[in-house]
Amino acid sequence: MSDGNPYEIIDDTPETPRLPGQVVLSEDADQALDAIGMDIVHHAKACVRAFGDFHLALSGGSTPMPLYERMMIDPAYREMPWRRTHLWIVDERCVPFDHEKSNFGQISELICDHSDIPRSQVHPIHAYEPDADVRYEKELREVLGWREKGHDRLDFVLLGMGDDGHTASLFPHSPALDVRDRLACFNRGPAVTPPDRVTMTYGLINSARFVGALVVGKKKAPMVHRIANGMETPREIPIKGIAPVGGEFRWYLDPESARWPV
Ligand code: 6PG
């Protein structure tokens, strides 16, 4: 209770929500970006030491774009071993790469054009092709297959979350939620926010060594609260289906996404 002291320090840090997985609550959105960014570099270096390469899958959406940009210009990210990194795309809209809604178009402009990642290690989803899902699955199996059995999985998957609880292009009540035997698939129909998408499936994401969900900003707070406290199923809130089988799951929040009531 305040005693009227004008110099009292009010700590308005919200409580850390109890989400499935570990939760990193940063001081602000900027620090949340760096928290996940530094984890990417840390895992990249460890994987390169252990396996000779690093398989990174990145999401689109507005939240991670400033991080991708920062990874190119901030000296703190200089140790990121892009030359040994394979870059995968978590999900893609069925548009050409030069369309403003193309995830790969944006990621490629920010990362591929400014790093020394070899072109042969960049794996876009050709989502405007009718067999894009089959092609991507084949490429994943082929390239990850160079690794020893058991290590043939993605090393780091960066996810975002929509206000409706979707992640990747796994939307509430959409057909891709039921796909169990595939690594990538199309997702279309009334439950999918247009345009149609190709997405990594639960199976592929949950087989990853590490999954990070970057969720910042006030708009995400009601959903963060529902995930922490509600009883909904992954069909209603797809990010609740993220549970890496032999890996870690970490959330990166800022006070705005963690605070409830907003
Ligand atoms: C996409 C994403 C998607 C995204 C969320 C959050 O291509 O749109 O992969 O799952 O992460 O929609 O998007 P924002 O970061 O824009 O809120």
Q: Quick one: which atom of ligand 1 is closest to the CA of 60?
A: 7
The reported pLDDT for the residue numbered 262 is: 85
Q: How far is the CA of 164 from the centre of ligand 1 (A)?
A: 11
pLDDT tens digits along 144-203: 999 998 899 999 999 999 999 999 999 999 999 999 999 999 999 999 999 999 999 999
Cα torsion angle, 233, 234, 235, 236, sign: positive
Q: What's the pTM value of the predicted model, to 2 decimals?
A: 0.96
Helix 65-73, helix 29-51: angle, nearest 10: 60
pLDDT tens digits along 7-28: 887 778 899 999 999 999 999 9
- Which of 94, 161, 177, 193 has the most ligand 1 atoms within 8 A of CB, as the residue to mutate? 161
Q: How far is the CA of 251 from the centre of ligand 1 (A)?
A: 15
Residues 6+ apart with CB under 8 A from 249: 20, 21, 22, 211, 212, 213, 242, 243
Is residue 108 lining ligand 1, measured as CB closer than 6 Å? Answer: no
Is residue 217 lining ligand 1, measured as CB closer than 6 Å? Answer: no
Q: What domains can you pick out in the chain, each with its CATH number?
A: 22-248 (3.40.50.1360)
